[in-house]
């Protein structure tokens, strides 16, 4: 149990931040799924647009500390390669 005021405040803060971070991760995953759906449909135009929308969200996730930068770089590289292969 938290004994200091700082530790008690940290517990309250962590609860709020957890909700915010889960929402951000969910939003990023949704954008990635949109790219995957466009790839499955074989629609290069939609896949390119979805990828352009997903890229800044993924980068923002790295900046906010949600994902490791190499993880996002790997995912972005793979998605870009798949979209390019549609052509």
Give how many domains the chain has, as a whole number: 1
CATH of residue 56: 1.20.58.110
The whole model's pTM is what?
A: 0.85
Across the 87 residues of the chain, what is the mean pLDDT of every consecutive 10-residue run?
90 96 97 97 96 97 97 97 92
**Domain extent at residue 24:** 5-86
What is the reported pLDDT for 44?
95
Residue 13 Cα distances to 9, 10, 18, 24, 68, angstroms: 6, 5, 9, 17, 22
């Amino acid at each position: 149990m938290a004994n200091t005021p700082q530790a008690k405040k940290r517990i309250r803060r962590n609860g709020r931040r957890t909700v915010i971070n889960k929402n951000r991760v969910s939003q990023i995953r949704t954008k990635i799924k949109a790219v995957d759906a466009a790839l499955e449909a074989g629609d290069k135009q939609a896949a390119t647009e979805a990828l352009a929308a997903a890229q800044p969200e993924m980068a923002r996730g790295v900046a906010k500390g949600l994902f490791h930068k190499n993880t996002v770089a790997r995912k972005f590289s793979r998605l870009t390669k798949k979209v390019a292969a549609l052509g």
